[in-house]
Amino acid sequence: MQNPFQKLVPKQIYNAFENAMKQLESVSKIKKFDKEFFARLREPDRDIRISIPVKMDNGSIKIFEGYRVEYNNALGPYKGGIRFHPNTEVNEVKALAFWMALKCAVVGIPMGGGKGGVTVDPKKLSKKELEKLSRGWVRRLSDILGPHKDVPAPDVNTTPEIMAWMADEYGKITGDKTGAVITGKPLDKGGSEGRGTATAQGGFYVFEALKKELKLPKVCTVVIQGFGNAGSNAADIWYNAGHKVIVVSDSKGGIYNKNGLDIPKLLEYKKSTGTLSGFSGSKDITNQKLLATECDLLIPAAFENEITNTNVNKVKTKVILELANGPVTPEADEILFKKNIPVIPDILANSGGVAVSYFEWEQNLKKEHWSEKKVFEKLKKLLDDSAKKVSTNAKKSKTSLRMGAFILALERIQKKIK
């Protein structure tokens, strides 16, 4: 069926679900799974489109297109973030929901896969309009959401404050007082310690667990694409661990310093100026040059389809760690595997976010509040264990870490479906 939004979105974003299905196809060449099981995984359980009317500050009514895709709940309630972005459309959300189902299975948490979004540029909305949109998204979907049914969380451009509005709206409609319908809330509204930095912190634990076998040096040079929640926290964590972060970028462009950027100062600089460009001691760099920078570790932390068959041969890193979802296309993935450049896949590398979201959900339901130390100890244990299992699978089947992670996830989901 022709997608009505196809004309409106860039081709590379439109391909995300196709890419996810290609990955599923690749794993079937490495390990035998039931045909019926795979047929089921090629479609989400439910794929909902909504329209959200918002009364704008100038008095006009604007209708926004929103989505919730519930992909698979074999392991537990659907779980997955909500993205507010002008390019967001249903196929991107479907891909992200599919990856989320696998991600929960890779880290062994009792949650299924879901994802949501709204096609909107939130930077063009006032705070009041953004709140109305966020509450409107929940009003349209309140029947299918719930602590034991479907539990959303933040993703690109959605913040703890937005999560608090959404939880509040759900509570008003249903009377729910647990707050466990949504995770990534601010601390004083039932959020978990550590959730803000969990995605990057989780990526770091996975990196530490695999560093030796990937033959990475003690001090790595690091290039990071994207300077939002995932990317800026990663820069801070790798910097504080003694590594040299030489390039970072955001949607306006990147900066480079071969001796390493002073990340704490850069975070202050970006906060006060709103840009990375012009930071003392750095040179501006384009996104394409960023990907071609010689380094030990490249961390894509922005969007899908950044490393493709057209630029993959320029990549000069020893290892890629995917903090973004789907930044490497299946074609580029194959080339990187042949070139012996390991890719630590998104469904393992960025699973720290959903793992701490699960901890938040558990704390809300048990009416507990855990210390950051406890949260990160639990996270580290979960990710050390998953990283080792993924690596063992990859070695056993002589395949990539991505395929190792897919095998682990699919075996766990299949066992529950049977």
What residues act catalytically? Answer: 115
Q: Which 187-226 residues touch ligand NAD, going by CB under 6 A?
A: 199, 225-226
Complete edge-to-edge strand list for the sheet that includes strand 61-72: 46-55, 61-72, 112-119, 78-85, 150-154
Least Å from the CB of residue 207 to ligand NAD: 15
Q: Verify binding: residue 154, ligand NAD, rule CB under 6 A.
A: yes
Minimum separation from the CB atom of position 175 to ligand NAD (A): 29
DSSP secondary structure, 144-199, as one string: T-BTTTEEEEE-TT--HHHHHHHHHHHHHHH---S-TTS-S--GGGTPPTTTTTHH
Distance from the first to the final alpha carbon of the chain: 31
CA pair distance 109, 128, nearest whole angstrom? 36
250 binds ligand NAD (CB under 6 A): yes
For the chain, what is the radius of gyration of the CA atoms? 20
Segment interacting with ligand NAD (CB under 6 A) among 52-60, 228-236, 273-281, 379-387:
228-236
How near is the Cβ of 201 to ligand NAD at its closest, in Å? 10
The answer to whether 343 touches 51, Cβ cutoff 8 Å, is no
- Residue 301 or 407: the one with the smaller Cβ distance to ligand NAD is 301
Shortest CB 265 distance to ligand NAD, Å = 18
Q: Which of 287, 311, 397, 414 binds ligand NAD (CB under 6 A)?
A: 287
Distance CA 84, CA 117 (A): 6
Residue span binding ligand NAD (CB under 6 A) among the ranges 53-61, 122-130, 295-303, 364-372? 295-303
Least Å distance, CB 96 to ligand NAD, is: 6
User: Residue 229 interacts with ligand NAD (CB under 6 A)?
Assistant: yes
DSSP state of 190: T
Closest by CA to 261, choosing from 218, 304, 290, is: 290
Does the protein bind ligand NAD through residue 16 (CB under 6 A)? Answer: no
Q: Does 324 bind ligand NAD (CB under 6 A)?
A: yes
- Is the four-CA dihedral 383, 387, 108, 147 of positive or negative sign? positive
Helix 372-396 and helix 90-107: axis angle, to 10°? 90
Q: Which range, of 52-60, 140-148, 318-326, 359-367, touches ligand NAD by CB under 6 A?
A: 318-326
Q: Which residue has the tokens 């794993």?
A: 27
Nearer to ligand NAD, 44 or 326 (CB): 326
Q: How far is CA 18 from CA 12, 93, 348, in A?
A: 10, 12, 20
407 phi, psi to nearest 5 deg: -60, -45
Q: Which is nearer to ligand NAD, 138 or 276 (CB)?
A: 276
**Which CB sits closer to ligand NAD, 131 or 346?**
346
Q: Is 350 in the site for ligand NAD (CB under 6 A)?
A: yes
Of 37, 228, 378, 416, which one interacts with ligand NAD (CB under 6 A)? Answer: 228
CA dist 57 and 126 (Å) reads 8
Any contact of residue 299 with ligand NAD (CB under 6 A)? no
Evaluate whether 350 touches 322 at the Cβ level (below 8 Å).
yes
Q: Give me the residues that bind ligand NAD (CB under 6 A), please.
A: 154-157, 199, 225-231, 249-251, 287, 301-303, 323-325, 350, 353
